[in-house]
Amino acid sequence: MLKKITLLVILIFTLLSCNNKNSKTQENKENTPEKETIKVPKKLFGYNLDTFKVVKKKIKKGETFGTILDQHHVWTPKIYEIANTVKPDFDVRRLRAGKNYTILAAKDSTEQAQIFIYQHDLINYSIVDFRDSIYTKNVKKKVTVKIEEASGIITSSLSQSLDKQHVSPVVANDLSDIYAWTIDFFRLQKNDRFKVLYEQKYINDTIPAGIGKIKAAYFEHVGKPFYAFNYVPDSITGIQEYFDENTNNLRRAFLKAPLKFSRISSRYNLKRYIAFYGRVKPHLGTDFAAPVGTPILSTANGQVIASEYRGGNGNYVKIRHNATYTTQYLHMKKRNVKVGQYVKQGDIIGWVGMTGNTSGPHVCYRFWKHGKQVDPLKEELPAAKPMKKEIQEKYLSFIAPIKKELDAIPY
């Protein structure tokens, strides 16, 4: 009996202790101040998104700056005012279908657009802010560049070999341009080998933002090695060239044609008879037919000495390459270079059009040698300008560590 009473007392004491402890715990919780949650505002393009209604879309075919703002409750007179004010820095007529844009609108019943942001690409965007005063700002995101490497043994094609490694097709295209005069990429052999060091651009160190230049490459074609190293031999022009391990330039002085894909529609002909005029009228150029908008390339390095619209020539560009050679490109839809600008072989200087006296879309390519127009297809064009002897030692020192790095890449 005594034992039962003792157990009952212990049980009652335990229950009282637990209740007391729980009440103290609850009291402590009530007396402990709650931690304040700090809300960090979400930002985009430098703006606090919490203060706007945010609309993100792609520009549809046929949409314009005006139609987009009209959809977001901006009146037509205001749209014209905005377009005219920002035109020197941002031409609203150049919006392209498929590009991303963001509208930051008022967070009230009007939901009226206040800021328009146009993304040219992953790196560049333009801000048009028309809240109080109207202004525009062109911004380039911070980009870091890392040197990446790729290598492989050809089983079918270079592009497929790189694609298996998830390397951008731009690398294959750039390699074909670099080796255009030394390797026929349409006749690559099975077991040909390659190694390449190239620039990969990143935003925030993680988001791929395109390919930069090829730093160096090695190609082994039918057992023969071909090195290529990027180098700037002339600091005045700043034009990059590719040389091999023996300082030889990998390119020729002139491309065969100013278009990548075209056909010759009319050749250089001093005895061309034109029935409409009933007489002989020499054709001093070579016509390359191509669709309107096809890029026109400079056939060699040089300096632009004319870029204008004139009579039957339409939009044209003229480039002096050295004391001997000058080229001219006629009937362009639009020009892409200015007088005094240095261009390198393969640069886009304009686009095929039908300006001036022409019956169809083409570029008339004219070629001067010692001030006289000649047929470029019959000329024995010179090799590319060799590297100056005084910089060869500097070049060889420059490429030594790069070549070592390139050779160390495994297949």
Q: Are 100 and 123 in contact (CB under 8 A)?
A: no
pLDDT on residue 87: 93
Mean pLDDT of the chain: 85
Q: Indicate whether 24 pLDDT > 60.
A: no
Q: Average pLDDT, stretch 171-181?
A: 85
pLDDT on residue 150: 94
Please tell me which residue, 180 or 342, carries the higher pLDDT value: 342
Q: Average pLDDT, stretch 220-249?
A: 89
pLDDT on residue 198: 96
272-321 tens-digit pLDDT: 655 555 565 666 788 888 899 999 999 988 999 999 999 889 999 999 99
Given pLDDT bands bounded at 50, 70 and 90, which one contains residue 324? confident
Residue 5's CB is within 10 A of a number of other CB atoms, namely 9
Positive/negative CA dihedral, 55, 58, 61, 65? positive
Q: Indicate whether 97 pLDDT > 80.
A: yes
Positive/negative CA dihedral, 338, 343, 348, 351? positive
Q: State the Cα–Cα distance between residues 351 and 231, nearest whole angstrom.
A: 29
Please tell me which residue, 186 or 181, carries the higher pLDDT value: 181
98-145 tens-digit pLDDT: 999 999 999 999 999 999 999 999 899 999 999 989 999 999 998 999
Given pLDDT bands bounded at 50, 70 and 90, which one contains residue 190? confident
Strand pairing category for 52-58 and 113-119: unpaired
DSSP 212-250: EEEEEEEEEETTEEEEEEEE-S-TTT---EEE-TTS-BS
- Which span out of 10-14, 153-157, 176-180, 216-220 was modeled with the highest average pLDDT? 216-220
Given pLDDT bands bounded at 50, 70 and 90, which one contains residue 186? low
Q: Indicate whether 197 pLDDT > 70.
A: yes
pLDDT on residue 177: 81
Q: Are 302 and 339 in contact (CB under 8 A)?
A: no
| pTM score, whole prediction | 0.57
Q: Average pLDDT, stretch 181-200?
A: 84
Given pLDDT bands bounded at 50, 70 and 90, which one contains residue 34? low
Provide Rg for the chain, Cα atoms. 34
Distances (CA, A) of 392 to 241, 383, 395, 399: 14, 18, 5, 11
Distances (CA, A) of 176 to 180, 184, 305, 337: 6, 8, 30, 25
247-261 tens-digit pLDDT: 998 877 788 789 876
The percent of residues in the chain predicted with pLDDT above 90, rounded, is: 53
> Which of 77-91, 180-194, 229-243 is least confident?
180-194
Given pLDDT bands bounded at 50, 70 and 90, which one contains residue 18? low
The CA-to-CA distance between both ends of the chain, in Å, stands at: 91
Q: Indicate whether 41 pLDDT > 70.
A: no
Given pLDDT bands bounded at 50, 70 and 90, which one contains residue 322? confident
- Which span out of 123-132, 162-171, 188-197 was modeled with the highest average pLDDT? 123-132
pLDDT on residue 328: 94
Write down all domains in the chain, each with its CATH number in brackets: 46-140 (3.10.450.350), 143-243 (3.10.450.350), 263-378 (2.70.70.10)
DSSP 359-401: SSSEEEEEEEETTEEE-GGGS-PPBPPPPPHHHHHHHHHHHHH
The percent of residues in the chain predicted with pLDDT above 70, rounded, is: 84
